[in-house]
Amino acid sequence: MRLMAIVDAAVRIPGLEDLTMYRSTASVPFAGRYRLIDFTLSNIVNSGISSVGVFPTNPFVSLLDHIGMGKSWDLDRRKDGLFLLPPTQLNGGHLSVGAFAALEEHKAFITKSRRQHVVITSCYTITQINYQKMLQAHIESGADITEAVSGDTSLKSYIMSRELLMELIDVYKEKRVVSVEDLVNLKKKPYTYGRYEYEGYVAVIDSVQSYFNESMALLNVERWSELFLHECPIYTKVKDEPPTRYLKGSVVKRALLANGGTIEGSVTESILGRAVMVKKNAKVDHCIIMQKCVIGEGCDLSYVIADKEVHIESGVILRGTKENPVVLRKGERVLKEDVG
């Protein structure tokens, strides 16, 4: 009960624009039925932390709709629970984790807390990290700030005392740093810095390329079972979709499917979100098809990322490559004539 969490959901990732036109990075769909922030919030609650501040940025309607009062994470509490702390004057959005300007706007959230330590984390690094273990290591090391790493990869999660964070919010301008990440990277004095080595699943989503590759990697059951642990479930907003229907003639191999789908065509090496419809004789290969997409009869898609509610009319042929998947933006309607 000594730890509180700050989730920086306002970090912008250049290169993910196709998926973030209508949402922040934190609410980008991943693994069929999740949003990126689900993994962060689930790690937090699985670590027994019940006081969480989420700093969103514009456009955050999608994020608000998704996390609501935090019920799915059991964070709708009378005491503590989930707080949404949106930007008040700033335009919002920044490039590194734990921006002091945003924290300063909601300093009261931090000063009023009775927790001793703070973990500051983000949404685009997916792990199964346990913050209690990290806190233990942080305290034992005696460092002022501990950064979680996995080999050479920074997990963009930091633990420090709440007091130190309050001090940093007062002095960050003098120190010429913009964020906790910035401070740690520059190793500003007089603070001491430690590292916590984490072992387990890591995926860093910082480009369409890594988004595609990390999604596809989940088709290997070994990788899938590293992320989806029975004792540390990933929570998300529930949707009451019925089980997925496999109709006569469907072919499904090496695929990850969320509920509510209706599969009549062929789905191979692909990830399907909730309530996706793949019609007769359609082929979906090496694709990420998000919630409520409709793939028309006889379509032939390979290496395509289709955002939510994309309608692909009958007979459309779309081919991307592993290095350069075709990205269809949310709500797009693709006709045969459009693609020649």
Q: Which residues bind other proteins (CB under 8 A)?
A: 31-33, 72, 219, 221, 224, 227-228, 233-236, 238-240, 242-248, 250, 252-260, 262, 271-272
C-beta of 29: minimal distance to other proteins in Å?
Answer: 12
Residues 156, 121: contact at Cβ < 8 Å? yes
Residues 308, 292: contact at Cβ < 8 Å? yes
C-beta of 107: minimal distance to other proteins in Å?
Answer: 34
C-beta of 25: minimal distance to other proteins in Å?
Answer: 21
Write the CA distances from 316 to 71, 212, 264, 336, integer angstroms. 40, 21, 16, 5
Nearer to other proteins, 44 or 165 (CB): 44
Cα–Cα nearest to 6, from 44, 39, 36, 34:
44
Radius of gyration of the chain (CA): 21
Supply φ then ψ for residue 162, to 5 degrees.
-60, -35
Nearer to other proteins, 239 or 333 (CB): 239
C-beta of 253: minimal distance to other proteins in Å?
Answer: 6
C-beta of 32: minimal distance to other proteins in Å?
Answer: 4
Nearer to other proteins, 72 or 302 (CB): 72
Write the CA distances from 154 to 38, 112, 131, 150, 247, integer angstroms. 19, 30, 15, 6, 44
Nearer to other proteins, 2 or 239 (CB): 239
Nearer to other proteins, 113 or 262 (CB): 262
